[in-house]
Chain A
Amino acid sequence: MHEGKIHPITAATRDIADIFGRMGFSIEYGPELEDDWHNFTALNIPVDHPARDMQDTFWTKEDTPRVPRTHTTAVSIRCLEKMAKEGLTSYRAISPAKVFRNERTDLTHEAQFYQLDGFAVGPDVTLAHLKGTFETFFREFLGPEAKVRFRPSFFGFTEPSVEVDLWFQPEGKEGRWLEYCGAGMLHPNVIRNAGLDPEKVQGFAWGGGLERLIMIKSGVPDVRMFHNGDIRFVHGFSE
């Protein structure tokens, strides 16, 4: 019988789960419809932060409005809460899952897409570990030439915050630096909000688009192809 095919998001996730699994990361899940606390407040995003604006975030029409999560960092904070509750001293996890942004769609922007979020927290997890983790991940996912570099940035939930660029060389083409994701050391307020003690644990977190990784690796020209239910897209990938 004719074999079916998994969606490229699934295929990429399996690769990613493998690579991060070997580095000790579990895969965690959380609600797509989040409360204000896990999507914003616990992540040190103040009440009047632009990210809360109607143009960026969808809100439900309910007595207590909820938000289709704008990042899977919401899953990370839930894990940190679990960590506090269960008295764990270290925890590493990734969360590759759907997120929502209320923005105009084009070749590189979708209102719903997948994010690959992750974190590593422990007594001695540093920014150098973040670099090491990314180097391993990108080398294994994209190829041995892949490299990463950091640039300063700002996110409410991390301090220091960095933008991560990755060096990618498509077969037979010239290599170049591509912006990939935001990352940093978890802000002590976030660690405290989860019920942990920032004097005892620290760690890094990051969040970037999963489609973007696939677009880079496989040469997909338009992010809007991913979630329109078209089998031509799924079968357009060679294995």
Chain B
Amino acid sequence: MKVSRTWLQKYFDTELPSAEELAHALTFHAFEIEEIEGNMLDVKVLPDRACYALSHRGIAKEIAAILNIPMKADPLREAVPSVSTTENLVVTADPEYVRRHTGALVRGVKVGPSPEWLRSALEAVGQRSINNVVDISNYVMLDIGQPSGAFDLAKLKPENGVYKIDIRRAAQGEKFLALTGETYELSDTMFVFSDAVGGLVMDVAGVKGGKESGVTEATTDLFLSVGNYDGTLIRRTAQKLHLFTDASSRFQNRPSPELTAYGMRDILALLAEVTGGTVEGVVDFYPSPVSMPAVSSTPEFVNKKLGTSFNALDILGALTRLGLSHTKEGESVVVMPPFERGDVVIPEDLVEEVGRIIGYEEVTPVPLPGIPAPAQLKYRGIERVRDLLVARGFTEISTPSFAVNGDILLSNPLQEDKPYLRPNLRVNMEVALARAVNVAPRVLGPVSEVKLFEVGTIFTKEGEKMALAVGRKAISRKKSPVIVDNVDEFMGLFASNVAGTDEVQEVLFADADLESFGAGYEPKNPGLGKFEAFSVYPFALRDVAVWTPEGTTEDTVAGMIREASGSLLVRLDCFDSFAKEGRVSYAFRLVLEANDHTLTDTELTDVMGKVTKALQETSGYEVR
């Protein structure tokens, strides 16, 4: 909800602090602020408070409570003057959908551009000015949170001078031409305003107005509709039509039906002031008026939840600032929530009101009372398996749970080509092995094989299971196929069924075994250091072998290579060394890589030239 500081200011005599200070106050006591732009704040109103806070009045009330500054006037606490009814308007409605509907006939409006104050108020919160009638409806919605609609009476057909509006279920397949010019096909779960005499579908009730009954410059008489509709049904309609409007987003959060009377009051006043329109009469459909049950709590209860020691004065003060009127009955505080505060229902709601208004910074951290550390057996069992594999040179991987094939199909997969939950870990393991072989020289150095494992959940017809996959793959094709041998010991421990190939084996865990396997085991905790990102560009490998005088250490040679090769060298492994006839030979593999491009032959030749030169020029060294 975008609010403007200028608009909020109309609720206060004292000058409000800057937008930044308002944002800070709201952030720590009410709502997250998504954006500040000049005098505009974009306030993230969450569903619980959306019944009252999707409005400038709602935000102003919060600011009044947080900063403890009085509101000049509160439109929801001011009486609604009674307006006479009219026999020329009949509204019938389905009470399953319509919680309340306040309708009116207004005559003699002059449609035209809005006055400057109205225009700029709307533009300050990113709304476009349309015409004075539509702008008034929008203004009142943004001001006190009540959506409404205005229709051109000339487009409706009276019967003996009587306009008959029916708020009814739409027919399956019924067409609706929206204000935007788009046509929607409705279903019988949706509700519409229809002209019961002429048959025109005027509005998808509470969601979007229709083009054919919309207000134009020629309009002089209006049917005004200020309603309140079932939040769930509204939400489903908006979803089905992909039509989320300012109105639907308010109605789906269940503002009070009491609010329609206030909305009508404000709209009529503005229509008279701005367009010269006068009301002929108001017709109210309100089958079951709502009342707000009292909520009671005690200071002890509040402190017991928050872990604080607020005194009764602090607590009552917070409630008073929020306009939550209350009485004391013994130790109890009985709160009578105002009609718009549909979110205050249980004592815990009062705990939140008190906690946030006083401020959560007043909640002092307290450690939980000490209790013996729990056994964490299953966890220890799983970690022991991991540690055994790591000790045998296996690297742990984690792979996605979505798969090309499987038993459990998703109705709304993220990727159409991976609509299943994985039925095994093997398939991902094979892919990971192939990739690991490609990057092994960069990551692992001159190894003859890669060894990976994954612990994860698989999903089959029989249910979900925790599985372990172990994979090994030879890097050089010259070698014979790898046989999984030294992981046998815990394959035996846990296997309830083993499947696999020469390269990949997969087993299922049994919980009971894991717990006994884990008893007393202390998982290794290597800690978590800094992460160094790898280049997305390919690395290159170059080997160099050099004779050195007897007694030369590997580190000395490595140091010379590092210095000569510069920043492109990302890894250096000595893969061979032997002594012969008073000399030592070292063979190194250089891994070269740049962060921002693929290395060219020229660059590689240049680096290797420098390395060779540096070694060659050292006394007693001979590059082989």
Contact = CB atoms under 8 A, between A and B. Distances in A.
Interface of A: 1-12, 14-15, 17-18, 21-27, 29, 31-33, 47-50, 53-54, 58-62, 65, 68, 90, 92, 98, 100, 102, 105, 111-112, 120, 124-129, 131-136, 148-154, 159-163, 185, 187-188, 202, 214, 217-221, 226-239
B421 A33 contact: yes
A7 B396 contact: yes
B442 A154 contact: no
A61 B526 contact: no
B143 to A, nearest CB: 24
Contacts of B530: 218-219, 237-238
Contacts of B439: 230-232
Interface string B370-413: 11111110110001001101111111111111100000111111
B306 A127 contact: yes
B378 A29 contact: yes
B348 A128 contact: no
B32 A151 contact: yes
Contacts, number: 278
A4 B396 contact: yes
A194 to B, nearest CB: 16
Contact of B365 (A58, A61, A132): A132
Contacts of B363: 127-128, 131, 150
Nearest to A59: B411
B367 A229 contact: no
Contacts of B527: 11, 15, 239
Interface of B: 27-32, 46-49, 231-232, 235-236, 239, 304-308, 346, 348-349, 351-352, 355-356, 360-361, 363-368, 370-376, 378-379, 383, 386-387, 389-402, 408-414, 421, 428-429, 431-432, 435-436, 439-440, 442-444, 447, 450-454, 456-457, 459, 464, 523-534
A7 B531 CA distance: 12
A220 B443 CA distance: 17
A68 B534 CA distance: 32
B306 to A, nearest CB: 5
Ranked 3 nearest A-B pairs via Cβ: A128-B307, A126-B307, A238-B529
Contact of B408 (A33, A161, A238): A33
Given A132-B366, A228-B399, 19 more contacts: A3-B391, A6-B386, A8-B531, A10-B386, A21-B373, A24-B372, A60-B409, A92-B368, A129-B367, A149-B361, A152-B356, A153-B46, A185-B348, A214-B528, A227-B398, A227-B400, A236-B532, A237-B528, A237-B532
Contacts of B389: 4
Nearest to B352: A160
B445 to A, nearest CB: 8
B1 to A, nearest CB: 14
Contacts of A239: 526-529
Given A112-B401, A159-B348, A6 B390 contact: yes
Nearest to B412: A54
A148 B402 CA distance: 36
A24 B373 contact: yes
Nearest to B30: A152
Contact of A188 (B346, B409, B525): B346
A7 to B, nearest CB: 4
Contact of A15 (B29, B391, B528): B528
A187 B349 CA distance: 10
A8 to B, nearest CB: 6
B443 A237 contact: no
A202 B464 CA distance: 32
B435 A230 contact: yes
Contacts of B457: 32, 98
B368 A120 contact: yes
Contacts of A153: 32, 46
A127 B439 CA distance: 48
Given A4-B451, A26-B376, A14 B398 contact: no
Given A12-B528, A60-B411, A151-B27, A6 B396 contact: yes
Contacts of B402: 111-112
